[in-house]
Amino acid sequence: MIRILGKEELPFKLTWTHYLILMRIDNIDERNFYEIEAYSEGWNCRTLQRQYGSSLYERLALSRNKEAVLQLAKKGNIVEKPEDLLKQPTVLEFLGMEEKSEYVESDLETAIINKLQAFLMEMGKGFLFEKRQKRFTFDEDNYFVDLVLYNRLLRCYVLIDLKVGTLSHQDLGQMQMYVNYYDREVKTEFENPTIGILLCKENKEAMVKLTLPPEANIYASEYKLYLPDKKLLQDKLRQWIEEVSEIE
């Protein structure tokens, strides 16, 4: 009998190959998380291996507080608020782009469109694709949002801008304008406020907090074109949990 989600019993659904992968995960909380996600999301073995290899558990945990980290092991990744969509970093190794090669934002955007299904899975649960280079006009000037997604779980638009360099305060201001436009001109009264996400090669978290008010609903996430070092992320998560425990 398979037991996940705490004490709740669920019918056998995962294959033996799934459990061969899960059995190799030493950390019980991490193993429970991948078991819950594989069951609830219907992951095949290849997807489970990719999510584990990309350190999804650690990347989600590092974007949350201690209580939310504990919930990952009990309930999996439940999407109830904008912060639940975040992970640090976002991993785009499936694009097949070289980290050191010269490329511009349009190259990154085209690569994402060509691998759209994998990109939506990496972004998280409930995402639907609407449009690339969505144009809107303001004071006779045209502006373009790189990618417009919709999250059916949060019932809101999610605007994504791609930045191949270091994040700047001008980038944040531009995204704030995009979000304001969608909230005032596009979303309906039945939908929740628009979310803005800047995928950037180098995030400046302190600048984001200084530039934007807490209620801005705009977030920045670094992207990586290669699989992250799992041990490095595990050590970082362990250190973060220890620091939080000492404060408490």
What is residue 111's three-state secondary structure?
helix
- Any idea what the CATH number is for the domain that residue 125 is in? 3.40.1350.10
Question: Pairing state of beta strands 9-10 and 195-202?
Answer: unpaired
Beta-carbon contacts of residue 111 (< 8 Å; ≥ 6 apart) = 92, 95, 96, 97
129 vs 166, more confident: 129
CB 54 within 8 A of CB 46: no
Which pLDDT value is given to residue 246? 65
Pair (37, 149) in one structural domain: no
Domain that holds residue 25: 1-78+229-248
Which amino acid belongs to residue 60? Answer: L
Which pLDDT value is given to residue 186? 94
**H helices of 62-164, where?**
66-75, 105-114, 116-123
Residue with tokens 């800047």: 198
**Each residue of 147-185: pLDDT tens digit?**
999 999 999 999 999 999 888 889 999 999 999 999 999
Candidates 187, 202, 196; CA nearest to 215 is 196
Which pLDDT value is given to residue 202? 84
Domain total of the chain: 2
Pair (97, 74) in one structural domain: no
Pair (182, 104) in one structural domain: yes
